[in-house]
Every structure is written in C-alpha cells, then in structure tokens.
Structure 1
Amino acid sequence: MTSQDIIVRSTSVLSIQSHVVHGYVGNKASTFPLQMLNWDVDVLNTVNFSNHTGYGFLKGECATGEQLLEIYNGLKQINVQYNAILTGYVHGFDTLEAVGKICTDIKDRANSTNKEVVWLLDPVMGDEGVLYVEKDVIPVYRKILGTQKVDIVTPNQYELELLVDQKITCLRTLKKALQLFHENYNVKHIVLSSLFAEFFEDLEGGKETIYCCVSSIGIPEKLAFFRIEKISGYFTGVGDMFSALLLDRITKTGDIIVSVSEVLTIMKNVLTTTKKLGGALGKIGNKNMKDCELRVIECRQFYDHHHSHYDPIFIDN
C-alpha cells in the first residue's frame, strides 16, 4: 500500500459566520483553507451579502435568530455531529443569542456522550475603536462566554476591551484584562490577534509593529508575544482566515504557542502573495477594494506548511 492509497477520515466543523457572494471574508475566507486541511465544513451563514461592507455598497440580507435555529433543528433531526465549532461575525442581538444556543447545545450533546467539541469563538465586533455591530451584542457575548463552554477566543485589543470593560494602554492593564477574562469565563486560550505597539506605553516597535499575544491556562505564569512587522496595504478577511487556521492547528498539535507561530507564518505568506498579485491598495468605499481580497485559492500551497518564522517572547504574567 502506498501513501496515496491511505484514506484519512476528515474532521467535521460547523462554521457560523458571514457569507459574501464576491470576495473572501467570513465563511468564504475560512471554508476552503479548512477543506484543504481535511476538514468537512458545514456552513451556517449569519448574513448573505453580495460583497463585504468595505466596498461602501452591498445588497443582501441578514439572517434572523429564528432562521438559524430552524436550520440547526434540521441538522439535529438528521443527527449531524461535529468535532469543532467556529463562530465569527454575527450582526445583531437576536442572531447572536441563537448562535449561543446552537453552540451550547452542540457542546452539551457531545458532553453527554463523553465526546469533545472544540469551540473557537472570534468575537467580531470592531477594531481600533470602531464598532462594526449593534452595541447590544456586547452583553450577549459576555453571556455566551459566561457559560464557560468556549475553548479558544481570538479578539483584537479593542474587542477584549469591550468584553472586560477596561481600557488597555500598557502591559500592566493588559495583564489585568486577561486575568479578569480568564477568571470570568474560564477560557483555555486567549489569542489576541493584534496589539498596536504605537498605542502601548511599553511595547517596542512603533507604528510599524503589531503584536499577537497568547494567554493560556496551560501556562498561567507567562504571556507569549509574537512581534510582527506590518505589511503595508489594506486587507480584508485576515482575522477570519487566522481563526480558521488556528482551529486546525490547535486541534492537531495541542500546543497553542506552536499553533499560533505556524498560523502567523502562513498569514504572512498569504498577505505577501495577496499584495504581490493585487496590490492591496484599496480603501474603504474605494473602487480598488477588489485588490484587497485575500488570494485564498492562489495561496492553497501554504495552508499545510508547518514552518515557524515567529519566535515567542515570554513575559512574566
């Protein structure tokens, strides 16, 4: 028997995110990379838009909570089961409440049969002080996290501030926010996707540097930082692909530091390729926004790479 004759059974995931017909954000940025990594992806769309909001114009509609629950009940009736859940952009209060009910039910059903389901939640709410969703989703996220069923969360700095209701300006306030998050929600791994050095009192690098930070119950005494030099340009769907790849890596390696390092390396390759092929010079509402779409198909050779170009910097917690 050759290696080509060996069939590896796929792993199943329910991905609950936005959908756009054109472009790569939400489920469109997550599904293909996961499929390339041997995931069987069931897609539940929270919105159905012609394109993402960066174009300054779109057509389509948002799903209601009732619609999502109806679809999920259909999945339950045919006894669909999952190894993992990935949740991203949810626009409004009632829809997010439905997502919480769906994911909690999946976790409870698995627990009743002694099976494990990994839930990675990306609380997509905004960035750099700008809120993308209705304000009343913030307490719903807190309620969902309060169930203590979420395993991994991937907020940016602004989203972490919203969830713990604290401003982060330095390492001291960051550590306080992360400690509060762990205490309140018992999440195994917090992966802060972006901290901007220029807005920190004590992070080196200035405006050309961002950091990714990992806080894990598995290594409570230290925080791990990854220093990343910015790639100039405007990109969309980056966080959605990052979260999908992280879900893949953590379920396969069990090591959050190795997983983040590998995913950051892949994302660097994706962004570099996207810039090379399209320029990534568009701006919000600009006709050149198409150039900012991730080259998801062209980058397929990167998704299974296990190189690590980023070494963790450990700081005492």
Structure 2
Amino acid sequence: MRVLSIQSSVSYGHVGNSAAVFPLQRIGIEVMPISTVCFSNHTGYGSWRGPHLSGDDIREIVTGIEERGGLADVDAVLSGYQGGDDIGDAILDAVTRVKQHSPNAVYSCDPVLGNAKSGCHVAPEVQSLIRDRVVPEADLVTPNQFELGFVTGTSPDTLESTLDSISRMREIGPRSVLVTSVERPERAHDNVMEMISVTGDEAWIVETPRLPIKANGSGDVTAALFTAHLLRSGDPKESLARTASSVFALLEQTLASGRRELQLIEAQTAYAHPSMQFEPKLLTSHI
C-alpha cells in the first residue's frame, strides 16, 4: 500500500508529515511525503524558523515523482493543514494527477480550520477553499466537530445533530467521514471524548477517557491511521477501534512523559499492535 502525503514538516516535534509518516511506515505503509513548509517547530510555540513552499514547488515535486512512475499504484493522497490557497490548488492538482494514474486512489482530507475554543485560525481564502473546493473533491474527510459544523453550515452538538451534519457533509462529496473531538451533552460523563465514523450505511461511535493534555499533531496521526486502516480492511468498526486504541496509547505515553511534544517513537508498538481496549458501538440513527 502506498500513500502520497502532502503536509507540513517540522524538525523539532511531530505535526503534519512529521507526525503522520512514521506511524504509517510502522504499520507497513509506503509513504511519499511532500512538505508544504519546512519549519523548525510547529507554530503553537508562537515563533518558528524555516521556509514555506509554494504551490509551484509542490507541483514540481509531484511532476518529479510522476516522471519516475511513482504515481502509479497509489492507494491514497493524504492532506492536512493548508497554509494558503496556492497550496490547496496544488494539492487538488496532485489528486487529479494521481487519479489519472491510479483511478482507485482515495483522497483523504483533514480539513484543518480550527476548533470550538479558538474558532477558525486559517485565512478567509483558505476557509473558502476548503469548504467550497477541497471537501467536495475528497473521498474521506476527518474533521473535528467544529470543522464539521463550519463546512456544512450547521451546529452539531447532540448526537442527532452531529449525525445530521455528517449526512450533509456526505451530500457535499465525501463518501466516508470521521469526526474527532466529539462532545455532546447526552454523553455518559464529562471525562470522555468520542469519535464517530460513517461509511456506507454504517455509523459507529467510540468513547475514550479524556486525558488532561493538548498535544499538537495527534489529529494528524488520527487521520493517517484511520485512512490506512479503512483502506486496508474496508471495515469501519475495526478501523475506528484500532485508531482510537493507538492514539489513546500515544497520548497516554506523552502525558506520562511530562513533555509537550508527542512521544511518537516511544509509542510505536501501539500503532502496529494496538491493545484494542475500546469497542465502537453501532449507531442505527438515519444514516
């Protein structure tokens, strides 16, 4: 299995491709990473160093891969944070070119826009790009609950309204949706987080304990692992269970370390051999 992953890259810490590539490799996926930025560290520190790549830079790299025959037999294109509309256009161009060589390839998009606490943290032109052009081209999207609402123009909060928003998202284009960081008033108690996966006519929800940690890059790991598991197995329940178990173990180990950055390497056994301690439940509501 081969994935073309177009995301940011940092030297210190783990976000973007620096978070997604190693877990994919650890479960046996061949990854072709393309960096959209090459930064010293993620922007959450408030300062960083290093260059942005332009959309033309991305196209040049994709062309070089194509000239080597590397766009044949690609199973998925994976994208995350898009710092500018020129990068988004280049990613969409890459998806088109990949599908010309690999018609069955899936475009998996993490529509990074923001979160419920801080709102949108990308430029208005990027918001429009993701909502109006990128999501309709995606086969699989992995928004958090806030991003789900932003893209669909809805206000998901309860289970019912979140499922309604997922249905709206699928009408826009994507066949499969994974919603992360789900919080709803009717959940069992406040110290849990949930993810909901909808593929075909099946909707699954999984619950994990809420850990007192905010770890940049965990969403990138989640999107990468879920994409790979779903493509490999075709089983949304198993894919959700494996992803939840792996990411929870990663966050648990990061919390125990007392460090700010994901303990990506130290938790590597959890990707290849997750403990499968979380059992997704089937939702029967109007999917």
Which of these two proteins has the greater Rg computed from alpha carbons? 1
| Aligned mates of 2:200, 2:124 — CA distance in 1 | 29
Give the aligned CA root-mean-square deviation in angstroms. Answer: 1.6
Structure 1 residue 14 displacement after superposition: 0.8
Match of 1:80 in 2: 70
How far off is 1:306 after superposition?
A: 4.6
Residue by residue over 1:140-185, the C-alpha shift from the partner in whole angstroms, topping out at 9 and shown as x without a partner, is 22312323xx222110011111111112232332222111111121
8 Å contact from structure 1 (residues 49, 59) kept in 2: yes
The equivalent of 1:93 in structure 2 is 85
In structure 1, the partner of 2:150 is 162
In the alignment, which residue of structure 2 is the partner of 1:212?
Answer: 195
**Contact kept? 1:194, 1:213, Cα under 8 Å:** no
In structure 2, the residue matched to 1:130 is 119
Aligned equivalent of 1:27, options 3, 6, 17:
17
User: What amino acid maps onto 1:107 in structure 2?
Assistant: K
Provide the aligned length of Structure 1 versus Structure 2.
281
Match of 1:294 in 2: 262
- Rounded to whole Å, the distance in 2 between the matches of 1:169 and 1:299 is 32
CA distance in 2, matches of 1:175, 1:270: 28
User: Which range moves more in the overlay, 64-73 or 259-268?
Assistant: 64-73
Are residue 236 (structure 1) and residue 213 (structure 2) matched?
Answer: no
Structure 2: runs of 5 or more not aligned? none
The answer to whether structure 1 residue 180 and structure 2 residue 168 are counterparts is yes
Q: Tell me how far apart the structure 2 counterparts of residues 295 and 305 of structure 1 sit (CA, whole Å).
A: 16
In 1: Cα distance, 2:45 partner to 2:254 partner:
18
Query: Mean Cα displacement is larger for which, 231-240 or 172-181?
Result: 172-181
- Checking the alignment, whether the CA contact within 8 Å between 2:7 and 2:35 is kept in structure 1 is yes
TM-aligned CA deviation for residue 241 of structure 1: 0.8
In structure 2, the partner of 1:117 is 105
Q: 2:98 aligns with which of 101, 106, 109?
A: 106
Kept in 1: contact 2:59–2:90 (CA 8 A): yes
Is the partner of 2:187 in helix, strand or coil?
A: coil
Report the secondary structure of 1:62's partner residue.
coil
| SS state at 1:303 partner | helix
Residue by residue over 1:58-80, the C-alpha shift from the partner in whole angstroms, topping out at 9 and shown as x without a partner, is 11222211211122122222221
- 8 Å contact kept, 1:64–1:95: yes
TM superposition score normalised by structure 2? 0.92
Q: Determine if contact 2:12/2:40 at 8 Å carries over to the other structure.
A: yes
Q: CA deviation at 1:295?
A: 0.8
User: In 2 relative to 1, CA 306–276 (structure 1 residues): closer, same or farther, beyond 3 Å?
Assistant: closer
The residue matched to 2:89 in structure 1 has which SS?
helix
